[in-house]
Amino acid sequence: MKSNYLTKAFIAGILVTFGAAATAAKEMPQTTPEGMNLIKETKTRVVYAMPEATLDVYTKVALIDCYVAFEKNWERDYNRDASFTMRIQADDMEAIKKSLADEFRKVFTEELTKAGHEVVDHTGADVLVLRPAIINLDVSAPDVKTAAYADVIVRSAGSMTLYMELFDSTTNAVIARIIDGEADTDSFAQRANSVTNKAAADRILRGWATELASHLGAAQEDTADSNK
């Protein structure tokens, strides 16, 4: 499923909702305009779900193309401290966004399929639609493919936040909304390049994907046990 499903209203909703989640002093609302209830709130994760929502009826998943947005002022702040040859350009940012969106689809498809959930491109009573977005993307050292880049050393590749909505594919009714910020582990210093950046992104994406697959599997197992 293509990203034309992502409307301006949806993107505006991302910014408003995450803005509230990211402000420690502001308490998250217990319910949303759609009627979802707040069921989990931690420093980095917020989860809303419709009352009595269940995932056990969904054996297939349709994945809408992932929307990607950098952290506000990321380009300005990065270029302010970068040498002339290391400055990021608009086409570099577009390439990063496309690469991350493609990687999101690849990783989620792999992990969901591995867990027994068929990834499809159609609707149906047993199809759950995922509408994902990566927001607040902060890349510590984007690979600008210059000779100077070989000397860039970082301890963390950066951070990003998942904003994902789950929908019933036949009614288009929202079931749940998840906001989860993750950062690459701050570990030993290493040279940054496209390979290390991709590996860091994959670790975060795979963590999200395996957790979702686990929740879907657990819901189906609970239903199977109750029917015995």
Residue 173: pLDDT over 60: yes
SS3 letters across 158-202: EEEEEEEEEEECCCCCEEEEEEEEEECCCCCCEECCHHHHHHHHH
Cα distances (angstroms) measured from residue 215 to each of 25, 58, 130, 157, 211:
30, 11, 14, 28, 6
Write down the pTM of the prediction: 0.83
Q: Report yes or no: 176 and 155 within 8 Å, Cβ to Cβ.
A: no
Q: Pick from 145, 140, 157: which is nearest to 85 by CA?
A: 145
Among the residue ranges 33-37, 88-92, 149-153, 156-160, the one predicted with the least confidence is 149-153
Return the ∠ at Cα 112 (arms to 107 and 115), rounded to 5°: 130
H helices present in 23-155, as ranges: 74-81, 90-114
Count of residues making up the chain: 228
Higher pLDDT, 190 or 217: 217
Looking at residue 154, what is its pLDDT?
72
CA 106 to chain centre: 13
> How far is it, in rounded angstroms, from Cα 123 to Cα 211?
23
Among the residue ranges 32-46, 111-125, 138-152, 197-211, the one predicted with the least confidence is 138-152
H helices present in 82-165, as ranges: 90-114
